[in-house]
Amino acid sequence: MASANDTFQTPLNSRYASTEMKKLWSPRTRFSTWRKLWLYLAQSEKELGLPISDEAISQLAAHTEIQDSEFAGVAEEEKKRRHDVMAHVWGYGQVAPAAAGIIHWGATSCYVTDNGDLLLLKEGLDILLPKLATTIYKLSQFAEEYKDLPCLGYTHAQPAQLVTVGKRACLWIQDLLMDLRNLERARDDLRFRGVKGTTGTQASFLQIFHGDHSKVESLDELVTEKAGFKSAYIISSQTYPRKVDLDVLNALGGLGATGERIATDIRLLAHDKELEEPFEKDQIGSSAMAYKRNPMRSERLCSLGRYLQNLPKNANDTYRAQWFERTLDDSANRRLSIPHSFLCADACLILMNNIFSGLVVYPAIIQKHINEELPFMATENIIMACVAAGLSRQDAHEEIRVLSHEAAAVVKQQGGKNDLIERIRKAPFFEPILNQIDGLLDPKTFIGRAPQQVEKFVKVEVGPALEKYGEKIKEGQAAQLSV
């Protein structure tokens, strides 16, 4: 007899995503959501005067969660009918026989499939947003702790003017704040499809209510309210606009891009031994090289972030391929791309929360790298000091140019250390400013307003953005997310 180990399982499910996100996209949640929608429809139709018994409503309400024992029968019915929604109408009627004749009254399949998906999209974003807020909070704590620790800045991947470890982290946070805004907007923009019928005209419901337009509108409003939405689309086809999927998946894909971008920086810094992700006591870095401390979490974040970035193309292609009021070529694609996007985004946030909870900084290595480059960076300060001491700027520039080339040759051709400062100390020309050299080489004089920028950024931008997530962040801190 075949076991689960003989069947492919998506790693998003078996390795990476959280229990709550996996449950959200499970068959039980999906089909139980359908049942709730059928209950809302029946309740609202009864409230508006249709002949639906109290017993029917009671039985529907008692069986909104589909049980394990029901799945086999529904699957057999679907195999026979070749229609999943009608199979579940039948299954719901089996446990709520008093309602069997009125389940799905006036509705089309997309009443449950599309409204159900909108409910799942909304709840999925509600799961992700507090996790993203917690990620930002943890990284902002890191930024504040290291706001004034100088480190090499890089442009074109070449050493540039100094920044600070905390200021660089704020670049990451700034991108994550954009993702927070995008996910919030995507969630807040969601509307219910509502009760619209087969092509969105509500013709079937107008017939049920004998041409009473006000009751049809009231039905739409009642069901929308019961489902927890503030509004429904006035205009729809058989489906809600597939542009909505593109909007949501674009926001998730952007989060994946941010994850890869941050994790790439961390991997590069780990290569230089300036920064490391958490490394557990018994963790193995390599099966062959026992000394290795590979940045495996950051590498995984790059991998999953890259996958997530590519999923919005499915939503884009599906949206533009729709014909008129609808075609069914969207269905199989959406069953894969939408849950995968949420599971993958969830996995990325779990990784980011874990990484940002224990980033390790090595100040001595950072200082070593600064010392290797700072002599060249300090030359402008030295020239200005020479001018202030009454020396010629042009003469100072020429002296430093010659000494810099000599020092660079030692570094590049001989593999030696940068001895420019020693050469300057020995050169008679610079004798008037020798007592200033140490001060001119203090790394903290090269970081400008980086510490103040970090403080202002965290106060002005991070704090207000996270205010509404305060309790959720505390919960996330208390229950440390694991990988």
Instruction: Give catalytic residue positions.
Output: 156, 286
Residues 6+ apart with CB under 8 A from 443: 150, 162, 367, 370, 374
CB atoms within 10 A of CB 64: 18
Q: Are 99 and 93 in contact (CB under 8 A)?
A: yes
**Could you tell me the sign of the dihedral formed by the alpha carbons of 47, 51, 57, 63, in that order?**
negative
Query: Whole-angstrom Cα distance, residue 346 to residue 183?
Result: 13
Distance CA 99, CA 313 (A): 42
Name the token pair of 291: 């000394």
